[in-house]
Chains A and B, each alone.
Chain A
């Protein structure tokens, strides 16, 4: 029995070890090294890559990433909770409504981001329509703004909130809701005092997933944000490509990983519900 299990786990273990854990180890090592004159990495060991994070230029980017991630998580919660509630109460049509959330979610992140470029650009559909209707005379600057980035992130990660919240709401014992009404609670009071507290595990899971995804986002700020709304992900990419400062990029990546792992602890304790 153990031999079969060994052969089953070996490919997965080798893959994770060789292509996930070792690369992370390399990044950790790089983050402690010094940048070479033409890129590349050299000894001596140094903490300088981490202390550079305090540089106001980089601190502003880290701060902005955190702020955007918090805002996006809050908006996703406000938009996603009622949608999850709607799906959970839809009876036999649940599966249909759930698919309606999942299908755009799975069908190409790049295209979904591009769709917002198409809508938001100066000559995009929103501006054309507003100009044609005479509401505005000059096109509004929508693309390459913080607004566009937050909108794109909310659009991209809303299903991460809907799914886990739906999963807890679906499992909610109906008699608890009846009991609440029976004890005199109006629908609003039942929502506030029974449904929301009991869906906390889903809300927590969804919030962490949205937060992690937003914090590490690269494509959305890259395509919708332009140069002024760079987030950590873009800074990392920049260090590994144009700036050729791998040690600093590695330090940034590691910080990002630490935040992600720190947030995962409460999530894993409760099981990985609705992760997919």
Chain B
């Protein structure tokens, strides 16, 4: 079945709709003028963005949070997917599924309510740790989904063969199953990193004064009014995250072809 001409024309328009806003944003991040008229190529706004200490600090926070969330959520999610593959648990599956589609704002305020309730009894406050925990929570379901998809295609008799040859359950998991899952785990980790790095809604609700993230700074700048530095930093984010997502989808595709 080939594509008819009108469908191809439509697809071009649809892809333009999806990509042009970002392309325009990137192009104008190189504009020497601060207004939306092209006045020549310049790196002014990139220099301004890099000189901004608030942006630098927020980027550091975001990277730290995303790395911690990636490590934890990938570990918890991979183990969880493996456990569910051994035998399904309707409770955990349903909760994971629900957490995937719960509106971010609801998840954010419910976590905030939990934290505030705990703070009545413990002398801790909102900060990096609360953000990291929140991110691990909403990212774990992504990892379980991606790794479970790979496990569905995994031949259970490989583990049985390993145990038949004298491996313990843990050894069978670590030496036989996990290596088979490695591409899916890596792909899931990249997705978690992207999701965590980019989150604004939940983060802004559970962040403390010392844990302002990059999306929070960008949000504040965008609300305040037009600032071409936002174009520059946005372009960098899109390019970086877009690169990661390409790597991630390549990992998944190579796996599908195996």
Write the residues of chain A forming the contact surface with B, with a CB cutoff of 8 angstroms: 1, 4-9, 11-13, 15-17, 19-24, 26-27, 30, 79, 82-83, 85-87, 89-91, 95, 97, 99-104, 106-112, 114-119, 121, 123-125, 128, 132, 155, 158, 174, 177, 187, 209, 212-213, 215-219, 223, 233, 236-237, 240, 246, 249-250, 253, 256-257, 260-261, 264, 268, 272, 275-276
Contact = CB atoms under 8 A, between A and B. Distances in A.
B238 A107 contact: yes
A154 to B, nearest CB: 9
Interface size class of B (residues with CB under 8 A): 35 or more
B237 A107 contact: yes
B59 interface: no
Interface string B74-113: 0111011011101101011011111111111111111111
B25 A118 contact: yes
Interface stretch (B14-22, B39-47, B50-58, B121-129): B14-22
B213 to A, nearest CB: 10
Contacts of A7: 79, 83
Contacts of B87: 5
A158 B36 CA distance: 28
Nearest to A257: B106
A174 B2 CA distance: 12
Contacts of A82: 7, 10-11, 14
Contacts of B25: 111, 114-115, 118
Interface of A is mostly: helix
B154 interface: no
A106 to B, nearest CB: 4
Interface in B206-258: 215, 218-219, 222-223, 226, 230-231, 234, 237-238, 241-242, 245-246, 249, 253
Given A106-B194, A155-B17, A86 B8 contact: yes
A117 B18 contact: no
B28 interface: yes
Contacts of B134: 19
B110 A253 contact: yes
A236 B86 contact: no
A19 B11 contact: no
B162 interface: no
Interface string B1-37: 1111001101100110111011011001000000111
Contacts of A87: 11
Contacts of B37: 128, 132
A100 B15 contact: yes
A24 B110 CA distance: 6
A109 B198 contact: yes
A250 B125 CA distance: 22
B146 interface: yes
Nearest to B12: A86
A86 B133 contact: no
B178 to A, nearest CB: 12
Given A9-B80, A112-B22, 15 more contacts: A4-B86, A12-B77, A12-B144, A27-B110, A100-B15, A107-B237, A110-B215, A123-B226, A128-B36, A128-B37, A212-B101, A216-B102, A257-B106, A260-B102, A264-B98
